[in-house]
Amino acid sequence: MTDTAATTRLWGGRFRSAPDEALATLSRSDPSYFAMAPYDLAGSRSHARELHRADLLDDAELAMLLEAIDVLDGEYRRGEIQPNLEDEDVHTFLERVLSERLGAVGGKLRAGRSRNDQAANDLRLYLRDQVRRLAEATADLTDALLTQSRHHRATPAPGFTHLQPAQPITFGHQLLAHAHALGRDIDRLRDWDRRSARSPLGAAALAGSAIALTPEHSARELGYDRTCANSIDAVASRDHVAEFLFVGSMLAVDVSRLAEEICLWASRQFRWIALDDRFATGSSIMPQKKNPDIAELARGKASRLTGNLTSVLGVLKGLPLAYNRDLAEDKRAAFDTVETLLMVLPAMSGLVRTFVVDETELRAQATAGFTLATEIADWLARRGVPFSEAHEITGAVVQLCEERGVDLEDLSDEDYAGVDARLTPEVRTVLTVEAALAARSGQGGTAPARVDEQIRELVELVAEQRAWAAEYAGPRT
């Protein structure tokens, strides 16, 4: 005779005693994992139809199960029903409730499947759902960058290498560099989804099911492209989780790089932008402060997301086939990455959309630090001077400016000729920020016309990416 607690577990028939409390505590799912209930119920609907095809459920039993699943789904979403302490995991919780309500019919649902393929399916459905939300949130941030870029398509700004003033650029061009990176992140999400659209249902514990023999039907019902090709791989692999965590980490890193620049731009030393009060905080002791906390928090959380990737790779590297309980760690890392990004991305979108750019300050800094020096070298090179020689000549001009404490435009025609006779007065035609920007007119360059071109291309890309996210046919919850 089995103990009462065993009736709430999905295992235990061959055990003579109930689990020790320490084992039960360790084995029970983290409370957050029960959020997989809608995805588990989606899989249960498809599995019920599979059992009907296998003649394990008659028409009335199928209808009874589907109705009960729909009711339970609604109750869970409305917070009207929750797991109890005896429910080891989401699968135990849902089967217990269905069995309490339907009796033996509820217990029939377990035939032909295992928690192994259920767990794999739940997480795949969850992640395929969430990558659409992440794509949409990332597209919102890209749109915010595009809006600012339109306003500053021709606003001169200093471009940096090694965090030193290098050459003039437009501020719009700088913002679009971040937008392009985010566009690639969304493409990575799409590419991840293409590889992950494989249903593990029908794999059962590891060898495949002797009952659920047409899992391709369940795959279509759940929005997958096809089933997994190998039942062992279906339940044992989590490379799709690791790959998702990489994409999430890369997205967080790209956001972090933008966040770092915003921290610099908003500083008194740079003075490029002013943050909107709604997207900044103050100091508890210094009343004058306005802090870029959103950017700093985004920067900090990126490190945690790279840690999630590392932790799952560590779990996977030594596991024998097929399923092992170590794989339960996949949900913690996946949930945290999704939830963190869905907090960070909207906040960063608001921050970017609302900051105000000081165009006067940007223009003044655009030519500071001899950023137009390369124009002199290029001007000489176009007149037949070997660039190695032109580089040395221009360096001598900069030395002269530093000795006198002046800028390039402050030197006289005689000063230029004194450095090298080939530096004729015509060299002044290139020593303006507008000339420097216009000269970079090759594809991908900072010339305003090329910035406009980038904006148009990115607008089209974002529209396509949003359409992809919206067309998902899976059981989105």
CATH number at residue 390: 1.10.40.30
Active site residue 196: no
Among 17, 162, 388, 412, the active-site one is 162
Residues 250 and 377 in one domain: no
Confidence (pLDDT) at 384: 98
Residues 252 and 305 in one domain: yes
Cα(349)–Cα(332) distance, integer angstroms: 26
273 is a domain residue:
yes
Q: Is 289 exposed, middle or buried (0-12, 13-18, 19+ CB in 10 A)?
A: exposed
120 is a domain residue:
no
Residues 258 and 141 in one domain: yes
The closest alpha carbon to 241, from 311, 319, 157, belongs to 311
Confidence (pLDDT) at 5: 43
Active site residue 162: yes
Confidence (pLDDT) at 358: 98
Residues 24 and 76 in one domain: yes
Domain count along the chain: 3
Domain that holds residue 97: 14-111
397 is a domain residue:
yes
The closest alpha carbon to 62, from 44, 82, 40, 76, belongs to 44
Cα(180)–Cα(174) distance, integer angstroms: 10
Among 27, 32, 283, 441, the active-site one is 283
Residues 338 and 395 in one domain: no
40 is a domain residue:
yes
Confidence (pLDDT) at 37: 97
Residues contacting residue 145 through CB under 8 Å, at least 6 positions apart: 175, 176, 178, 179, 182, 352
Residues 81 and 188 in one domain: no
Cα(145)–Cα(147) distance, integer angstroms: 5
Residues 382 and 288 in one domain: no
Per-residue pLDDT 10s for the chain (477 aa) are: 344 444 466 656 677 777 888 877 777 888 999 999 999 999 999 999 999 999 999 999 999 999 999 999 999 999 999 999 889 999 999 999 999 999 999 999 999 999 999 999 999 999 999 999 999 999 999 999 999 999 999 999 999 999 999 999 999 999 999 999 999 999 999 999 999 999 999 999 999 999 999 999 999 999 999 999 999 999 999 999 999 999 999 999 999 999 999 999 999 999 999 999 999 999 889 988 899 999 999 999 999 999 999 999 999 999 999 999 999 999 999 999 999 999 999 999 999 999 999 999 999 999 999 999 999 999 999 999 999 999 999 999 999 999 999 999 999 999 999 999 999 999 999 999 999 999 999 999 999 999 999 999 999 999 999 999 999 988 865
Question: Tokens 């599995």 — which residue?
Answer: 47
Residues 243 and 391 in one domain: no
Residues 265 and 351 in one domain: yes
The domain boundary, picked from 45, 80, 111, lies at 111
Confidence (pLDDT) at 18: 78
221 is a domain residue:
no
Residues 134 and 258 in one domain: yes
Residues 79 and 35 in one domain: yes
229 is a domain residue:
no
CB 129 within 8 A of CB 342: no
- CATH number of the domain to which 289 belongs: 1.20.200.10
406 is a domain residue:
yes
- CATH number of the domain to which 101 belongs: 1.10.275.10
Confidence (pLDDT) at 63: 98
Question: Tokens 């890392």 — which residue?
Answer: 333
CB 98 within 8 A of CB 65: yes
3-class secondary structure per residue, the chain: CCCCHHHHCCCCCCCCCCCCHHHHHHHCCCHHHHHHHHHHHHHHHHHHHHHHHCCCCCHHHHHHHHHHHHHHHHHHHCCCCCCCCCCCCHHHHHHHHHHHHHCHHHHHCCCCCCHHHHHHHHHHHHHHHHHHHHHHHHHHHHHHHHHHHHHCCCCEEEEEECCEEEEEEEHHHHHHHHHHHHHHHHHHHHHHHHHHCEECCCCCCCCCCCCCCCHHHHHHHCCCCEECCCHHHHHHCCHHHHHHHHHHHHHHHHHHHHHHHHHHHCCCCCCCEECCHHHCECCCCCCCCCECHHHHHHHHHHHHHHHHHHHHHHHHCCCCCCCCHHHHHHHHHHHHHHHHHHHHHHHHHHHHHHCEECHHHHHHHHCCCCCCHHHHHHHHHHCCCCHHHHHHHHHHHHHHHHHHCCCHHHCCHHHHHHHCCCCCHHHHHHCCHHHHHHHCCCCCCCCHHHHHHHHHHHHHHHHHHHHHHHCCCCCCC
Confidence (pLDDT) at 19: 80
Residues 48 and 168 in one domain: no
180 is a domain residue:
yes
Confidence (pLDDT) at 12: 63
